[in-house]
Amino acid sequence: GENVEQHPSTLSVQEGDSAVIKCTYSDSASNYFPWYKQELGKGPQLIIDIRSNVGEKKDQRIAVTLNKTAKHFSLHITETQPEDSAVYFCAASIYGGSQGNLIFGKGTKLSVKP
Amino acid sequence: EAQVTQNPRYLITVTGKKLTVTCSQNMNHEYMSWYRQDPGLGLRQIYYSMNVEVTDKGDVPEGYKVSRKEKRNFPLILESPSPNQTSLYFCASSFGGAGELFFGEGSRLTVL
């Protein structure tokens, strides 16, 4: 089955700097790669996702890149702000598949220092 | 308001005392799932359901039961809780199994 590795497990940056979180996946059939943000005391919430027919996707200060050949994808946050502090999870799945389960990485705790 | 509602949010119980964590969604989603979140282990799937009366084991199903008699509800049952089931539990739902997951606020369970 699918296995998703996520690095680093913790990341501390200065406000205004960029943050990058990387994930690798094992199943070449996976074609959907979402990122979730979990704020303290809340459930995870989708912030951006990418399908395998796209190499990069941006949404304001957030971008995700996908390298299908190497089976890795990354989350990039530019101009970080204190409110970006949270735990971030990457995930992978076969969109539309009969099983259709998202497999999550172990998470990255991002701290943005003012 | 579209949401996934879990109850209770916090529970302290003792070993062996059966308990149920309820989950309800108002978005008419086919897919529902339960996860547990433990420090350093991320989100691990316990059980999931692709539709009414269809349930399947996730990665860590031991010690848990689920049922899906109605589309909106997906309760998690701990027949005989043990201390290693102390965790933060999340219910989630989506239209398709691998589409955007909507999570509940979580249920923190402590088993003494």
B11-70 tens-digit pLDDT? 999 999 999 999 999 999 999 999 999 998 999 999 999 999 999 998 899 999 999 999
pLDDT for residue A2: 84
Residue A77: burial class (beta carbons within 10 Å; 0-12, 13-18, 19+)? buried
Nearest Cα to B13, choosing from B79, B105, B74, B106? B79
pLDDT for residue B99: 73
Q: A43 vs B105: CB contact, 8 Å cut-off?
A: yes
- β partners of residue A6: A23
Q: B98 vs A89: CB contact, 8 Å cut-off?
A: no
Chain A touched by B89 (CB under 8 Å): no
Chain B touched by A104 (CB under 8 Å): yes
B45, B59 contact by CB (below 8 A): yes
Considering only the beta carbons, identify the residue of A34, A46, A101 that sits closest to B48.
A101
DSSP result, A2-70: --EEEE-SEEEEETTS-EEEEEEES-TT--EEEEEEE-TTS--EEEEEEETT-SEEEETTEEEEEETTT
Q: Within 13 Å of residue A75, how many CA atoms lie on the same side as its CB?
A: 29
DSSP result, A73-101: EEEEE-S--GGG-EEEEEEEB-TT-SS--
A with B: how many residue pairs have Cβ under 8 Å apart? 62
pLDDT for residue A93: 86
The 10 Å Cβ neighbour count of residue A101 is 22
Chain B environment of A34 (Cβ under 8 Å):
100-101
More confidently predicted of B8 and A94: B8
**Gap between the Cα atoms of B47 and A6, Å rounded:** 23
Q: Is the pLDDT of residue B98 over 80?
A: no
Nearest Cα to B25, choosing from B1, B2, B4, B52? B4
Secondary structure (3-state) at B85: helix
Q: B97 vs A44: CB contact, 8 Å cut-off?
A: no
**CA nearest B44 in A: which residue?**
A104
More confidently predicted of A86 and B96: A86
pLDDT for residue B43: 93
Q: B43 vs A100: CB contact, 8 Å cut-off?
A: no
Residues A37, A40, A41, A45, Cα dihedral to 10°: -10
pLDDT tens-digit readout, A21-47: 999 999 998 999 999 999 999 999 999
